[in-house]
Amino acid sequence: MTEDVEMKELPSNSLLSSSTPSTLHHLKEIASLIETGAHAREVRRILRAVRLTMALRRKLKAPVLSAFLNFVLTPGSDVHARLNSFLPMEDDNEMEIDTVSSVAQLPVKHSLPEIEIYCYLLVLIFLIDKKKYDEAKACSSASIARVKNVNRRTVDVLASRLYFYYSLCYELTGDLAEIRGNLLALHRIATLRHDELGQETLLNLLLRNYLHYNLYDQAEKLRSKAPRFEAHSNQQFCRYLFYLGKIRTIQLEYTDAKESLLQAARKAPVAALGFRVQCNKWAIIVRLLLGEIPERTVFMQKGMEKALRPYFELTNAVRIGDLELFKSVAEKFSGTFSLDRTHNLIVRLRHNVIRTGLRNISISYSRISLADVAKKLRLDSANPVADAESIVAKAIRDGAIDATLDHANGWMVSKETGDIYSTNEPQMAFNSRIAFCLNMHNEAVRALRFPPNSHKEKESAEKRRERQQQEQELAKHIAEEDDDEF
Q: Which helix H or strand E contains 404, and what residues bound it? A: strand 403-406
Angle of the 254-267 helix axis to the 234-250 helix axis, nearest 10: 160
Q: Burial, 141: exposed, middle or buried (Cβ in 10 Å; 0-12, 13-18, 19+)?
A: middle
Instruction: Provide the minimum distance between the beta carbon of 286 and another protein in the complex, in angstroms, as a whole number.
Output: 14
SS3 of 302-348: the string is: CCCHHHHHHHHHHHHHHHHCCHHHHHHHHHHCHHHHHHHCCHHHHHH
- Residue 213 or 478: which CB sits closer to another protein? 213
The C-alpha angle with vertex 448 and arms to 443 and 452, in degrees rounded to 5, equals 145
- Residue 225 or 446: which CB sits closer to another protein? 446
- Residue 151 or 344: which CB sits closer to another protein? 344
- Residue 56 or 393: which CB sits closer to another protein? 393
- Residue 175 DSSP label: -
Partners of residue 404 on adjacent β-strands: 413
Instruction: Provide the minimum distance between the beta carbon of 369 and another protein in the complex, in angstroms, as a whole number.
Output: 15
Instruction: Provide the minimum distance between the beta carbon of 333 and another protein in the complex, in angstroms, as a whole number.
Output: 16
Instruction: Provide the minimum distance between the beta carbon of 251 and another protein in the complex, in angstroms, as a whole number.
Output: 4
Instruction: Provide the minimum distance between the beta carbon of 379 and another protein in the complex, in angstroms, as a whole number.
Output: 8
Residues of this chain that bind another protein (CB under 8 A): 214-217, 250-253, 338, 344, 347-348, 350-351, 354, 379, 381-383, 386-387, 390-397, 403-408, 418, 422-424, 427, 431, 434-435, 438, 441-442
Partners of residue 412 on adjacent β-strands: 368, 405
What are phi and psi for residue 157, nearest 5 degrees? -60, -45
Instruction: Provide the minimum distance between the beta carbon of 145 and another protein in the complex, in angstroms, as a whole number.
Output: 25
Kindly compute the dihedral angle of the four CA atoms of residues 12, 14, 18, 24, in this order, to the nearest 10 degrees: 0
- Residue 259 or 402: which CB sits closer to another protein? 402
Rounded alpha-carbon distances, angstroms, from residue 232 to 68, 157, 237, 238, 262: 31, 11, 8, 11, 20
Distance CA 384, CA 405 (A): 16
- Residue 406 or 473: which CB sits closer to another protein? 406
Q: Concatenate the DSSP letters of all residues of 41-55 into one string.
A: T-HHHHHHHHHHHHH
Q: Which helix H or strand E contains 368, and what residues bound it? A: strand 367-369
- Residue 77 or 439: which CB sits closer to another protein? 439
Instruction: Provide the minimum distance between the beta carbon of 394 and another protein in the complex, in angstroms, as a whole number.
Output: 3
- Residue 214 or 468: which CB sits closer to another protein? 214
Query: Dmax over Cα atoms in the chain, in whole Å?
Result: 102
Instruction: Provide the minimum distance between the beta carbon of 242 and another protein in the complex, in angstroms, as a whole number.
Output: 17
